[in-house]
A and B are shown apart, each in its own frame.
Chain A
Amino acid sequence: MRDVAIIGIGMTRFGELWEKSLRDLMVEAGLQAIADAGVDHVDSMYVGCMSSGLFVEQEHLASLASDFLGLGPIPATRVESACASGGLAVRSAFIEVASGLSEVVLAMGVEKMTDLAGDACTAALATAADQDYESFHGVTFPGLYAMIARAHMERYGTTSEQLAATAVKNHANGALNPLAQFRNRITVGDVLDSMMVADPLHVLDCSPVSDGAAAAVLCPLERAKKIAKKAPVRIAGVGHATDSLALYRRADLTRLPAVERSAQIALRMAKRKPSDIHLAEVHDCFTIAEVCAIEELGLVPRGQGGDAARSGLTARNGRSPVNTSGGLKSKGHPVGATGVAQIHEVVTQLRGEAGERQVRNARIGLTQNMGGSGGSSVVHVLELI
């Protein structure tokens, strides 16, 4: 297997982008990544997207993307793993380059969500849960994570204030990210006073509905050293794991075992341990998801994820910076794009191009992208060459 590097990244602004269509978003992010890499062609591409069929009634997305990007008749593949579709696109591109099958591969993630009304969006997202045995009973995604939160509170004493501090921290980071959907700072009081969506989660515990796309160009590391315009970032480890779609079938309702397993695989491949990680982008679709994810990643001991944001541990200048981009909460969560957007942030940080939100001396970063209520997880470990 060859070493693989990321040599180009691109990303649209995330938000309610009424003027931009699904294909506009893909083309904007893709062209940016190709220009950033400085390559004149792409051999193959992957598009991660959860549900363009439900959101804008368009399938057959990969061919649409390669067509409108003007890439010619290259192989183009769509991958889907709910909200982990973007991470899976990067992993698929990694495999294709590492195997020697292709030299330059574009990985992209996209979702165009705001053409649908809010309640139809909720229904579309619920298809990532077990339709016949969860959604059937009226359980929503906030509802599933709310049940994880309730179990975590009962077991470990985690509080609504601690969850709120996670959203406050991510908004403080997002305020410094020009591509973020919400660039306003919020307070713990704002979160606790906001509308309850699914007890104990308030609307400000939840990531928003968003439009957006992100892309990355991958090639063999040896080639990257010769052609890259900017410092190449090596993909040192890749991990992917699955679990039951349905939350109720998991032995421990405070756990996300797919996250732990995908992280173990990626860290083993990278020959790294959790304490080596200088910054992490994790899947905070809800505040409780960040709390659980940092426990599963080994960034904090089990049961202590709740206080990580409040204590400053995961702040931008803390010992373990988490979601310097603003996370899904503040940067926005166009579901299929998120996994690639996480890669975009870590590469930006490792290159030292993160401006006001730059983490000093960051050389090793991690991304964790989750599907559903933990039915899939994709982790990447990235290292500056």
Chain B
Amino acid sequence: MSTVRVWRERRQRLLNEVARCKGCGKMHFPPRQVCDGCRGREFEMKPMAQSGQVLTYSVIRVAPPAFAQEVPYVVAVIEMEDTTRLTAQVADVAPEDMKMGMKVRLEFRKIRSEGRTGVIVYAHKAVPA
């Protein structure tokens, strides 16, 4: 993943910035130019709520090369308290302790590093609340 590609997403990855549609109130992560709820084009940018719950999850045991050292790791679809939805890893939990509906909060963590000399990429991971 190129450095500039990581940099371009900095507001989502580092600030968890979401777009709230001024027309219908739908929360969009990542922010977008057209609301798929009402086709509105005006948004209020705001930081995402930092707590939420797990809607569904899996434990990845066969991973792509960039994550091969991490297995097994937990991934989840999470709904935050402000109704924003996102996908994230759930860290600091044993796979067998994962539960549907589990309360989590977001933390700033290392996601991956590109080889020995590439960029180290940070973003959100969820941890048990």
Per the bound structure, the CA–CA distance linking A150 and B90 in Å amounts to: 16
Residues of B within 8 A of A (CB): 1, 9, 29-30, 36, 55-68, 70, 73, 75-78, 85-89, 95, 100, 111-112, 121, 123
28 contacts between A and B (CB under 8 A): A119-B65, A122-B63, A123-B65, A123-B66, A126-B64, A133-B30, A133-B87, A136-B1, A137-B88, A137-B111, A138-B63, A138-B66, A138-B70, A138-B75, A139-B60, A142-B60, A143-B75, A147-B56, A147-B76, A150-B58, A196-B61, A197-B62, A198-B58, A198-B61, A199-B61, A201-B58, A248-B87, A253-B55
Per the bound structure, the CA–CA distance linking A199 and B16 in Å amounts to: 28
Minimal beta-carbon separation of B72 from chain A (angstroms): 8
Question: Is the contact region of chain A dominated by helix, strand, or loop, or is it mixed?
Answer: helix
Q: Does A269 contact B (CB under 8 A)?
A: no
A148 contacts B73, C-beta separation under 8 Å: no
Minimal beta-carbon separation of B109 from chain A (angstroms): 11
Per the bound structure, the CA–CA distance linking A132 and B13 in Å amounts to: 10
Q: Does A74 contact B (CB under 8 A)?
A: no
Q: Given A119-B68, A140-B64, decide whether A147 and B89 contact each other with a Cβ distance below 8 A.
A: no
Q: Choose among A134, A154, A199, A248 the residue that contacts B95 (Cβ–Cβ < 8 A).
A: A199
B77 contacts A147, C-beta separation under 8 Å: yes
B58 contacts A248, C-beta separation under 8 Å: no
B63 partner residues in chain A, CB cutoff 8 A? 119, 122, 138, 140
Since A137-B123, A147-B58, A201-B58 are in contact, a sample of 14 more A-B pairs with Cβ atoms closer than 8 Å, ordered by chain A residue number, is A119-B68, A123-B64, A123-B66, A133-B87, A136-B123, A137-B89, A138-B66, A138-B75, A138-B89, A138-B112, A146-B58, A148-B56, A196-B61, A198-B60
Q: Choose among B56, B64, B85 the residue that contacts A150 (Cβ–Cβ < 8 A).
A: B56
Q: Does A151 contact B (CB under 8 A)?
A: yes
B29 partner residues in chain A, CB cutoff 8 A? 133
A247 partner residues in chain B, CB cutoff 8 A? 77, 87
Q: Given A137-B87, A138-B70, decide whether A151 and B64 contact each other with a Cβ distance below 8 A.
A: no
How would residues 247 to 288 of chain A score, 1 for a CB under 8 Å from any chain B CB and 0 otherwise?
Answer: 111000100000000000000000000000000000000000
Per the bound structure, the CA–CA distance linking A137 and B57 in Å amounts to: 13
Question: Is the contact region of chain B dominated by helix, strand, or loop, or is it mixed?
Answer: strand
Per the bound structure, the CA–CA distance linking A213 and B78 in Å amounts to: 39
- Which of chain B's residues has its CB closest to A135's CB? B64
B60 partner residues in chain A, CB cutoff 8 A? 138-140, 142-143, 198
How would residues 110 to 153 of chain A score, 1 for a CB under 8 Å from any chain B CB and 0 otherwise?
Answer: 00000000011011001000001111111110110011101100
B73 partner residues in chain A, CB cutoff 8 A? 138
A150 partner residues in chain B, CB cutoff 8 A? 56-58, 100
Minimal beta-carbon separation of B4 from chain A (angstroms): 13
A246 partner residues in chain B, CB cutoff 8 A? 87
B59 contacts A151, C-beta separation under 8 Å: no
Q: Choose among B55, B59, B75, B85 the residue that contacts A137 (Cβ–Cβ < 8 A).
A: B75
A window 220-254: CB within 8 A of B: 244, 246-249, 253
A253 contacts B89, C-beta separation under 8 Å: no
B62 partner residues in chain A, CB cutoff 8 A? 119, 122, 140, 142, 197-198
- Which of chain B's residues has its CB closest to A146's CB? B58
Instruction: Pick the 7 closest A-B CB pairs, nearest first.
Output: A146-B58, A123-B64, A138-B67, A199-B59, A151-B56, A147-B56, A248-B77
- Which of chain B's residues has its CB closest to A147's CB? B56
A120 partner residues in chain B, CB cutoff 8 A? 65
- Which of chain A's residues has its CB closest to B8's CB? A132
Per the bound structure, the CA–CA distance linking A249 and B76 in Å amounts to: 13
Q: Choose among A138, A154, A249 the residue that contacts B64 (Cβ–Cβ < 8 A).
A: A138
Per the bound structure, the CA–CA distance linking A246 and B123 in Å amounts to: 18
Q: Please indicate which of the listed interface residues A120, A122, A195, A201 has the most CB atoms of chain B within 10 Å of its own CB.
A: A122
